[in-house]
Structure 1
Amino acid sequence: MSLALLWTQFLAAALLILFAAPRLTRNAEIIAARRNISDNWIGLILLASVTSLPELAAGISSVSAADAPDIAVGAVFGSCVFNLAMLVVLDFAVRGESVYRQARQAHILSAGFGTMLIGIAGLTLMVRDLGLTLAIGHVGATSLVIALVYIVATRAIHNYEARIRERAGEEVTKAPSRSLQTAQAMFAIAAFAIILGGLWLPVVGARIADQTFLDRSIMGTIFIAAATSLPELSVSLAALRLGSVNMAIANLLGSNLFNILILAIEDAVYTAGPLLNTASNIHAVTAMAAVIMCGVVIAGLLYRPKTRLFKMVGWTSIALFSIYILNVYLIFFTMR
């Protein structure tokens, strides 16, 4: 198959994901509103989970049909840094105060748990050559720890959000006119389209990598990670248009939590051994970049800077963008 045709298929799969994402978002919002859930919780758990379906589908396809564990791991860590870099887009998109001043400081909790999960996975990549990793069958012990921390994180964030709403006396989003049954049906169709695109991306990506100078780690970390993160970008921008900065940020930070959980799911599917023991340890560079970016986000949410460069973007966003570009450069430089 020609390289041009492969890139055409890659673009088609990415466009399918981009087309389905807004429909998934709208119907997820309707379902959550009908079930009396707050906008923050919609963004953090419901939207973050469903917009991470491409990463999940692409990851399962990578470790099964494509037999490309480096693409699977690279796509997860690459999606994490890409999601954090998208905060720069949100900062450009909002008017007036910086997005970090408009957002609630409650997002620090989800950013903190994201730092923990990414750090756990990254540390496993760094120490595995020392023989310090454990496994239960073909599943690494790290995957079990990740699953446990994810459960604790979602529970803690849910309880914290509930206390915040109770003290503030907030009301949840009003239910729209569309019925719950219609929203669920349209949600399922959009989710199927996203899964289909996500399953095909790594197969085509592996073939592109094999026919070009691109390493599979680079293909997963940069190209597939960006393509599978299109729903998060679409959803967050849609949330901004609805006037919900908090939903937009919660979607991105919540997606990072779910992305690391995907590593544990991929590890269970990958029967050749613990996934993080098989993938290249170059992914630890991206993991550490994501950890640093989480730290920058936490500092920005806590400090809430007023200054914006040219009244367009804050220094927090400039730092995030700089770290993202540095990570891309290091990946390419290492794989030359």
Structure 2
Amino acid sequence: MLTAQLLIWFKFFLCAVLIGIAGTKLTRYADVISDKTGLSGNWIGLIFLSTVTSLPELMTSISALTLAVVPDIAVGGIMGSCVFNLVILVILDYLMRGQSIYHRASINHTLSAAFGIVLIAFAGLGVLVSGFNISSLISFSFISVYTPVIVVLYLVAMRAIFIHEHSQFEQAVRQVASRYPHITMVRATTGYLLSALVVVVVGFYLPFVSTELAEDMGWNQTFVGTLFVAVTTSLPELAVTLAALRINALDMALANVLGSNLFNIAILAFNDLIYLRGSLFADISPYHAVSAFTAAVMTGLVIIGLVYRPRSQLFMNIGWVSLSLLTLYFANAYILYYQNNS
């Protein structure tokens, strides 16, 4: 029994390590390709990078819905990733010595953060309302009515942010791409494809391991998806954020985190399209709404920090905004843990 349990944990951590390594390299080679193809000088370069860092969430959710058929792990991974991505800002604040990141970062990020609140909260509302047994009133065929609205909101957000922040993103992406003058296009393309292959394979396998873990530990799939799968699939976001910090590209780091959350909700809409058993929102635990609203509140705190621009640091080199984000993350984890054991 103990040996079998250890084997399941080993497989899960192996998936995490492989996604972390491959996701980091995938992001690195995406930067090179963007630079050498001229994509780094326009909006496509940023979209390319944001899509790459969210590839593990996309692949894992596709496998969870089409092969393993565990919708709670799929949605839990997405909602939990939105929450954990904002915890990355706490890590960033801790590593950024001297001043709070909210004092040094551009206030222009408030637009993408505001769209994040709208998209995440709307998805959470969809999860919550779908639990009221009125799914027939809010869906057509096997697709929830929330899905096309999410798609439209995402496209509106991308265009609005492009118009508002084009010059800032252009500079930031150039800074990241300038790290790789010694890498050829052939090497970058080969590395990108191999890394993507690893992410795809491991991403498809991860839901099966997560299901084993949930069954063996007696945990529900919502808990496992939100707290374990989410952290694993968010490792590329963490890697590119830390890489941006090393070259003093703070605004690129924030753009990556906030942009990834926007794309995660777009993935949720795509998941509803490929889930052929009915409306995805109607077939999942309403407790996913807790993670959604937690992520929305956390994003609101980020906006407050960017507007208020606090200088002071309260504990271990982090300020009150980051402490609040961390508190909300653990509160969300506790609620899901309590629900898991009730």
Structure 2 residue 121 is matched with structure 1 residue 131: no
Q: Deviations over 1:239-275 (max 9, x none)?
A: 1112211111111111101111111111111111010
Aligned to 2:288: 283
**8 A Cα contact 1:55 1:75, kept in partner:** yes
Deviation at 1:161, TM superposition (A): 1.8
Deviation of 1:27 (Å): 1.4
Q: 1:122 aligns with which of 97, 112, 124?
A: 124
Structure 2 match to 1:159 = 163
The CA deviation at 1:42 is 8.0
The alpha carbon displacement at 1:140 in A equals 1.1
**Structure 1 CA distance, aligned partners of 2:172 and 2:222?**
45
1: CA distance, partners of 2:325 / 2:116:
16
The answer to whether the aligner puts 1:270 opposite 2:272 as a matched pair is no
**Displacement, 1:52?**
0.8
Cα shift at 1:310: 4.6
- For these two proteins, the number of residue pairs brought into alignment is 334
What do residues 188-242 of structure 1 show as CA deviations (whole Å, max 9, x unaligned)?
Answer: 2112212222211111001111122211110001011111111111111111112
Pair 1:233-2:238 in alignment? yes
- Counterpart of 2:63? 61
CA distance in 1, matches of 2:172, 2:203: 37
| Alignment pair present for 1:316 and 2:321 | yes
* Higher mean C-alpha displacement, 2-11 vs 293-302: 2-11
Q: Under a length normalisation based on structure 1, what TM-score does the superposition of the two structures give?
A: 0.93
- Separation in structure 1 between the aligned mates of residue 121 and residue 187 of structure 2, nearest angstrom: 41
| Conserved? CA contact 1:117–1:149, under 8 Å | yes
Aligned 8 A contact 2:172 2:251 in 1 = no
**Contact preservation (8 Å) 2:151, 2:266:** yes
Percent identity reads: 43
* Displacement of 1:75: 0.8
Which of these residues, 246, 257, 271, is aligned with residue 252 of structure 1? 257
* 2:197 maps to which of 192, 195, 199: 192
CA distance in 2, matches of 1:303, 1:69: 39
The gaps in structure 1 that reach 5 residues or longer are none
Distance 1:283 1:85 in 2: 18
Q: Given that residues 12 and 209 in structure 2 are in contact (C-alpha distance below 8 angstroms), is that contact kept between their aligned partners in structure 1? A: yes
Match of 1:22 in 2: 24
Structure 2 gaps, min length 5:
none
Find 2:332's aligned residue among 322, 327, 331: 327
After superposition, what is the alpha-carbon deviation per residue over 1:91-136, rounded to whole angstroms, capped at 9, x for unaligned? 0111211111121111111111111111111111122216275223
Cα distance change, pair 81–68 in 1 and its aligned pair in 2 (3 A):
same
Contact 1:135/1:141 (8 A) holds in 2: yes
**Does the Cα contact within 8 Å between 2:241 and 2:256 map onto a contact in 1?**
yes
Q: How far off is 1:87 after superposition? A: 0.5
Q: 8 Å contact 2:46–2:173 — kept in the other structure?
A: no
Q: What letter matches 1:3 in structure 2? A: Q
Q: For 2:43 and 2:326, locate their aligned partners in 1 and report how far apart those are by CA, in whole Å.
A: 27
Superposed CA deviations along residues 71-104 of structure 1, whole A, max 9, x for unmatched, are 1111110000000111000001112111111211
Aligned partners of 2:100 and 2:313 also within 8 Å: yes
In 1, Cα distance between the equivalents of 2:44 and 2:28?
Answer: 11
Match of 1:102 among 92, 104, 122: 104
Work out whether residues 69 and 278 of structure 1, in 8 Å CA contact, stay in contact via their aligned partners in 2: yes
- What residue in structure 2 maps to residue 146 of structure 1? 150
RMSD: 2.3
1:5 to 2, 7, 23: 7
